[in-house]
Amino acid sequence: MEKLVLNNASVSIENGELISYKINDHEFIHQKGSPGWRNSDTEMFPIIGPTSDANYQVKTEKGYAIQDQHGLLRELKYKLNRQTETIVNYEKQYIANSEVLNSKFPNKSIVEKLIWPYSFTFKKQFELTEKSLIITFVIDGEKVMPFMLGYHPAFKLASKEPVIETNQQRISIEDILAVGSRAYQVENCREILLKDKRNIKIETEGFDNFMLWTEVTNMICIEPITFYPYALETSELHKGFMKLEDKPKEFKVYLTPDN
């Protein structure tokens, strides 16, 4: 486990997963083992959304890829690249057409192995500053590789009536619960404020959208995404791809608690 500490803030990371972010002993991150979700953060890549209705096949320019829900990145292990007192950097690498075992098989999926027809490197960095925890993602790979990216952190809720606010919306937990497994869509948005016992602001660069998900009242997933997958039929998910260009693509998420 890696730990970052700066003044009254501390961060704990386990195998690349953010498991704790505390300010003056107030925990902002959903804890594993608590009701709601077995994880505390993960990534959705190179696909976001369900693929079962399309027989787990996603169209690319190199043919059909075999992908389960939210992609295969989460099935790969992070390698620790470097660490300082306030920064830690991880990396995952994938070689095109390598078979990756699907952890959902056989209990939650009929697909045993996942395949993506492009090679890529995926880096994830945490940086603890005086103001924020900054999570940076860098994607490098074959030119014109299609992909979607979603970051999937879960936040612990401490009050009875927390609220999610954007510049245009005020969203309750009841609103999100009513949408169910599809996740609540927040379009054309780069900043969200979670108002709870202590507030935390989630700002992004490169994502432009959010989706909100929970099935319980003690946690909420506030997920920056490049594309909302339920806007299309499952067989047309490829229409939501963006593509790599000549240089690596960078995305950022800023988690900024109130003072």
Taking the domains of the chain in order of start, what are their residue ranges? 2-257
pLDDT of residue 181: 85
**Cα 48 to Cα 34: distance, rounded to the nearest angstrom:** 25
pLDDT of residue 53: 86
CB 175 within 8 A of CB 184: yes
**Cα 39 to Cα 96: distance, rounded to the nearest angstrom:** 27
The rounded radius of gyration (Å) of the Cα atoms in the chain is: 18
pLDDT of residue 57: 94
Residue 240: pLDDT band (50, 70, 90) is very high
Residue 226: pLDDT band (50, 70, 90) is very high
pLDDT of residue 231: 87
pLDDT of residue 249: 97
- Pick one of 3.40.50.150, 2.70.98.10, 3.30.70.1400, 2.60.40.3880 as the CATH number of 2-257: 2.70.98.10
Three-state secondary structure call for residue 208: coil
* Residue 25 reports pLDDT greater than 80: yes
Question: Which residues, 6 or more positions from 120, have their beta carbon under 8 angstroms from its beta carbon?
Answer: 46, 93, 94, 139, 140, 141, 142, 145, 147
Residue 236: pLDDT band (50, 70, 90) is confident
**Cα 92 to Cα 87: distance, rounded to the nearest angstrom:** 17
Average pLDDT for residues 115-132, to the nearest whole number?
Answer: 97
pLDDT of residue 232: 83
pLDDT of residue 107: 93
Secondary-structure percent of the chain, ordered helix, strand, coil, rounded to 5: 10, 45, 45
pTM for this entry: 0.95
pLDDT tens figures, 177-221: 999 888 999 999 999 999 999 999 999 999 999 999 999 999 999
Residue 110: pLDDT band (50, 70, 90) is very high
* Residue 259 reports pLDDT greater than 80: no
CB 186 within 8 A of CB 223: no
pLDDT of residue 115: 97
Residue 235: pLDDT band (50, 70, 90) is confident
pLDDT tens figures, 26-74: 999 999 999 999 999 999 999 998 898 889 999 999 999 999 999 999 9
pLDDT of residue 237: 86
- The helix or strand, by DSSP H or E, that contains position 139, with its residue range, turns out to be strand 133-141
pLDDT tens figures, 85-98: 999 999 999 999 99
